[in-house]
Amino acid sequence: MIYILGGSGGIHIAYKLSRDFNLPIIHLEYKTFPDGEKYLRILDEVSEKRVIVIQSMYRNPDSHLIEYFFLVSTLKELGAKEVIGVIPYFPYARQDTRFNPGEVVSLEIVAKLIEKVGTDKIVTIDMHLHRYHDIQELFKIPAKNLTAMKELARYIKSHYKLSNPVVIGPDEESEQWAKVAADVIECNYDILEKKRISPEEVILSPREVNVKDKDVIIVDDIISTGGTMAEAIKFLKRQGARKVICACTHAILAGDALSKIYRAGAYDLISTDTVPSPVSKVNVSKILYEEFIKYL
Amino acid sequence: MIYILGGSGGIHIAYKLSRDFNLPIIHLEYKTFPDGEKYLRILDEVSEKRVIVIQSMYRNPDSHLIEYFFLVSTLKELGAKEVIGVIPYFPYARQDTRFNPGEVVSLEIVAKLIEKVGTDKIVTIDMHLHRYHDIQELFKIPAKNLTAMKELARYIKSHYKLSNPVVIGPDEESEQWAKVAADVIECNYDILEKKRISPEEVILSPREVNVKDKDVIIVDDIISTGGTMAEAIKFLKRQGARKVICACTHAILAGDALSKIYRAGAYDLISTDTVPSPVSKVNVSKILYEEFIKYL
Amino acid sequence: MIYILGGSGGIHIAYKLSRDFNLPIIHLEYKTFPDGEKYLRILDEVSEKRVIVIQSMYRNPDSHLIEYFFLVSTLKELGAKEVIGVIPYFPYARQDTRFNPGEVVSLEIVAKLIEKVGTDKIVTIDMHLHRYHDIQELFKIPAKNLTAMKELARYIKSHYKLSNPVVIGPDEESEQWAKVAADVIECNYDILEKKRISPEEVILSPREVNVKDKDVIIVDDIISTGGTMAEAIKFLKRQGARKVICACTHAILAGDALSKIYRAGAYDLISTDTVPSPVSKVNVSKILYEEFIKYL
Amino acid sequence: MIYILGGSGGIHIAYKLSRDFNLPIIHLEYKTFPDGEKYLRILDEVSEKRVIVIQSMYRNPDSHLIEYFFLVSTLKELGAKEVIGVIPYFPYARQDTRFNPGEVVSLEIVAKLIEKVGTDKIVTIDMHLHRYHDIQELFKIPAKNLTAMKELARYIKSHYKLSNPVVIGPDEESEQWAKVAADVIECNYDILEKKRISPEEVILSPREVNVKDKDVIIVDDIISTGGTMAEAIKFLKRQGARKVICACTHAILAGDALSKIYRAGAYDLISTDTVPSPVSKVNVSKILYEEFIKYL
């Protein structure tokens, strides 16, 4: 049997997972004191139990991390047999190497701390792996990187009338997701080759795509400031694309990213609920359930 | 013709309203400087136009208010013919009278400032009116308080298998919404009479409700810290209610409100997207469209 | 007689002003609710009184502005005879014109709202006036822009052993302050002519300054991200300056501004307490008292 | 030799320590990305060096903690010989035991993480130790809890004209600090015995103090919401105290704590700069220097 505990960044997923798949919940009380410190209390017995801690780490990644460390440490202290950390949105993934001398390689430090507090296994969703080929290179404990791309593609297929669709990845790294989505939607896919001029500027050139009069689905793992996505939309519209529908797993949507994307000409934008946002349409509980079914 | 402009608190509603009902958008660029000041730029021509400014004012009400004042003032300066302010979640509604000498009656001051910047008409949704019978008593300009209760009830009716349902309002003020929801769901309704012992403590006593073996839908305008709702759920569960489904227009969900509600025994919780949250299931754009159809 | 009321952004100045110069205080209770709304209560009788509301508007300018509107409106409602607004740090001063079509001219809107809520007179300190020659052009009500530069210079003169000092303004706009400071320190002054290459990049060229082997005091009205100041320090150190001491009225110090300034080679940095910071050394209460002495 | 590195919460102390005592600085670049993640870069060579990392953890304790973990881990990675963590304000000190089943004992977890990232020695100032008699019980690495009480008392002695002074601790735990301060000021001390009725309410009864016509100095380690201090002030004023001057090491000053204290009748309030605030008058760099002098 597995038990589900949702931290403040995962409670919306935890309760849905519990109810839809009839998994028992470990309840949590939490509050923040006026001085900024958090208070946490695990309300149910956890001794000898296998507990899944769900904590997505968006917006205030540090606060979510500390809460995660507190929860896992305490579960182990209270006798939990196994603690599986589910971090639907994994923070600090970009900072995976030392670009300049003296830089903090945040991703590695975060990974080590997650292990040190007693996590027995880690599960995440569409973690942005640049320099790692596999999440297992980052962790010594068993680690798994699930994808939400199929669910996103299914949602698009069933909710939009698509005419002559094609899936586009906005850069080379997104080819993996474009392929998965195209499989579900049963259409072709391609990517845009991107040349980064500066941290803010990007120039696009197509590989072999002809999007004229097609409905385009752009897929990516994450939308942060929306710059990459907006450039892709504008480029595709200039190339004659009809509807452009954007899908991503993690809709961080910092600043006016949402506005930027619609201004660029998007017909719509959808995401999962790893980061709750106004465009969260796909709940990831089913994806997580399929991973955990083996424990039941 | 009407034009839609979404502020940072209303853009998710603005773009949906624009697309679903084919209304033209006035685009907005916005960012925050490192010193905390905001930058705003209206990107399209507004001269001689009738513009609907959508700005829901949750979480950082002061920042959303100032942005609203900036936008309406500037629209008027730039020659807009008429500015209709749509404030789906209207802040400071509780502070509508001077309970103790010297207290700031925030609601009145906010209302006056909204008028002073040049708003020609104001529209809100399920604004919590305690001491006012009608929103028009608060404003000199035409003002309208729409309700999302029908849409919430329709969502519940079509998404949950209800057996022997009854709608419950958690207090006397919610009777108005219980009635509307019961009409849609085609069942009885009742309210819980609540005695407030202290700002934090509440004791409940039923009017004539018998919820034993019934599926209960609790409806309210707003869930803030979740205290009232959690108490109602616990009470109803003790009385023998089966599934308890909670619905509210505005899911503020401060602190661990979401956790509190599920811990209390709720089967599910849904809200509109006036306040984007992980439980936002009902988009209010249709409700707004019905109000604005007369201008088209 | 005048009465002093400090808002949440001015209380540190209000109590010092009250105690040092024996002026009566109007006490204020304030708190923030979990939903982000503020609660304010004026605890003393204000009817027929002349009240000075001190509210510096740093870091969360919107929240401080709304609080100011609430306080002034309420003071007038409660019968205050005259309300003088003291805004030691005045926000949105940079946004004083429409650089591009459709931009919000925040400064003008803020000024108008300050008047509309009933402010009878406005007083600020070293407000950054770019395109206005006089603060009175911005306000219809009597308005005064005080300076803290003399007090800053006096502090430097008495706290540092200066050898062969010269005062430098980092750009043309700061000449006014360099002059005042040089008068107090009894030395020469000059400015750096700055060419802005991009919003982030600045190139400096001296007018006629020779700083070799001199102790340099750089004076400016405001340090925000610290970029301008850091460039000036580096330039002056390269030119052979000995100690470089920086002084500003408003130490916003966004991001790692403090670090930037010391990294650039500053010996020290001081500011007033219009924006409380770790480098606030000069209290502005005396400057304000001298303005208000006429009312006593 | 020792090198000083100030994190974002300690930079104001680091640069003062460096300059006043001629200690070399390790410079740090830091910024926050729009998605809330932090970027850190250590700008100087640290290999084979003994480095003191100064990071006070106020207001956003979690963000300061994560930054501390990042810095210490990276210093060790880059070959630093020894890392001494200086945490002037140590967070989560209240949560030092499990009051109710399932509660997170945050203090212990924080202490363990500080050790796990590679800290070789830890130094703090007036850490609130309730259930520990000595900070060394909390840490396996060498740990030291310095006090700022002497410096605070010296400041008061030299800046206020005291007539017939007495030092008062507001509760039993503050007796240690009252004694130290009374020694410096050369006067008697006593404490108030406090009965906590509820988390918010406190009743006071004196031990053997007679404060009538005396100037009272109240000393405590920390002022958070200001409730305890305000009650002590009111009580002492009712007992006939003349001036009441409050001193604390850590001025957290959450909400309207500052206002509360002055409203209660305080003549003045001072603190150190472990938490930068408008009342920070005593810099702790000298206290730290005396601890580190042995390494020089």
Tokens standing for A77?
A: 């202290």
Please indicate whether, in this complex, the C-beta atoms of C259 and D30 are within 8 angstroms of each other: yes
Whether the CB-CB separation of A178 and A219 falls below 8 Å is answered with yes
- pLDDT value at residue A43: 98
Is the pLDDT at B197 greater than 80? The verdict is no
- pLDDT value at residue C202: 67
User: What residue of B is the nearest CA neighbor of C222?
Assistant: B35
The whole-chain average pLDDT of chain C stands at 95
Tell me which residue in C263, C267, C278 faces D12 most closely, judged by beta carbons.
C278
Residues C212 and C92 in one domain: no
- The alpha-carbon gap from B27 to the nearest alpha carbon of chain A, in Å, equals 7
Residues 185-214 of B with CB under 8 A from C: none
Structure-token match 């106004």, residue found: A278
Please indicate whether, in this complex, the C-beta atoms of C262 and D28 are within 8 angstroms of each other: no
- Whether residue C181 lies inside any domain: the answer is yes
pLDDT, tens only, A112-160: 999 999 999 999 999 988 888 899 999 999 999 999 999 999 999 999 9
Does this complex have an ipTM over 0.90? yes
- A258-262, B126-130, C192-196 — which one is most confidently predicted on average? A258-262
Mean pLDDT of B278-282: 96
**How long is chain A?**
296
CA distance A249 to A199: 22
- Whether residue B16 lies inside any domain: the answer is yes
Is the pLDDT at A111 greater than 70? The verdict is yes
Best of D41, D58, D256 to disrupt the C interface (most C CBs within 10 Å) is: D256
**C43 contacts chain B (CB < 8 A):** yes
CA distance D21 to D150: 20
Please give the distance of CA B215 from its chain centroid, rounded to a whole number. Answer: 25
Tokens standing for C152?
A: 């800053």
pLDDT, tens only, A170-185: 988 899 999 999 999 9
Residues D244 and D291 in one domain: no
pLDDT, tens only, A57-78: 999 999 999 999 999 999 999 9
- Whether residue B223 lies inside any domain: the answer is yes
Successive 10-residue mean pLDDT values, chain D, 296 residues: 96 96 96 96 98 97 98 98 98 94 98 98 94 94 98 98 96 93 97 79 77 97 96 95 98 96 97 97 97 88
Q: What is the CA radius of gyration of chain C?
A: 20
pLDDT, tens only, B158-169: 999 999 999 999
Mean pLDDT of C11-21: 96
Where do the DSSP E strands lie in A138-257? 143-146, 165-169, 188-196, 202-206, 215-223, 244-251
Residues C47 and C112 in one domain: yes
Mean pLDDT of A242-258: 97
Residues D193 and D231 in one domain: yes
Interface A-D: count of C-beta contacts within 8 A = 137
E strand or H helix that includes residue A82 = strand A82-87
Residues C171 and C194 in one domain: yes
Classify burial at C55, counting beta carbons within 10 Å of its beta carbon; exposed 0-12, middle 13-18, buried 19 or more. buried
- pLDDT value at residue A147: 97
- pLDDT value at residue A202: 67
Which residues of chain B lie closer than 8 angstroms to A258, CB-CB? 11-12, 15
- Whether residue B122 lies inside any domain: the answer is yes
Share of chain A above pLDDT 70, in %: 100
Domain boundaries, position C122: 3-147+283-295
Q: How confident is the model at residue A54 (pLDDT cuts 50, 70, 90)?
A: very high
Residues A141 and A200 in one domain: no
pLDDT, tens only, B41-63: 999 999 999 999 999 999 999 99
CA distance B259 to C79: 46
What is the domain-level CATH number for residue D106? 3.40.50.2020
- pLDDT value at residue D202: 67
- pLDDT value at residue C116: 98
- Whether residue D278 lies inside any domain: the answer is no
Amino acid at A200: E
Residues C93 and C175 in one domain: no
Which residues of chain B lie closer than 8 angstroms to C76, CB-CB? none
pLDDT, tens only, C132-173: 889 999 999 999 999 999 999 999 999 999 999 999 999 888
Report the domain count for chain C. 2
pLDDT, tens only, C74-97: 999 999 999 999 999 999 999 999
Please indicate whether, in this complex, the C-beta atoms of C62 and B59 are within 8 angstroms of each other: no
Identify the CA nearest to D113 among candidates A63, A38, A85, A73: A73
DSSP conformation letters of chain B: --EEEE-TTTHHHHHHHHHHHTPPB--EEEEE-TTS-EEEEE-S--TT-EEEEE----SSHHHHHHHHHHHHHHHHHTT-SEEEEEESS-TTTT--S-SSTTB--HHHHHHHHHHHTT--EEEEES---SS-SSGGGT-SS-EEEE--HHHHHHHHHHHS--SSEEEEESSGGGHHHHHHHHHHHTSEEEEEEEEESSSS-EEEEESS---TT-EEEEEEEEESSSHHHHHHHHHHHHTT-S-EEEEEEEE---TTHHHHHHHTT-SEEEEESSS--TTEEE-THHHHHHHHGGG-
Residues D144 and D173 in one domain: no
Please indicate whether, in this complex, the C-beta atoms of C104 and B78 are within 8 angstroms of each other: no
Quick count: other Cβ atoms within 10 Å of Cβ D285? Answer: 23
Residues C135 and C203 in one domain: no
- pLDDT value at residue C198: 78
Structure-token match 């406005």, residue found: C122
- Whether residue C278 lies inside any domain: the answer is no
- Whether residue C103 lies inside any domain: the answer is yes
Is the pLDDT at B150 greater than 90? The verdict is yes
Best of C35, C65, C116 to disrupt the B interface (most B CBs within 10 Å) is: C35
Residues C290 and C246 in one domain: no
pTM for this structure?
0.96
CA distance C25 to C15: 7
Residues C291 and C258 in one domain: no
Residues 240-259 of C with CB under 8 A from B: 252, 254-255
Please indicate whether, in this complex, the C-beta atoms of C6 and D259 are within 8 angstroms of each other: yes
- pLDDT value at residue D201: 75
Is the pLDDT at A16 greater than 70? The verdict is yes
CA distance B106 to C201: 44
- Whether residue D106 lies inside any domain: the answer is yes
Residues A174 and A128 in one domain: no
Judge whether B194 counts as a catalytic residue: yes
Identify the CA nearest to C6 among candidates D291, B182, D263: D263
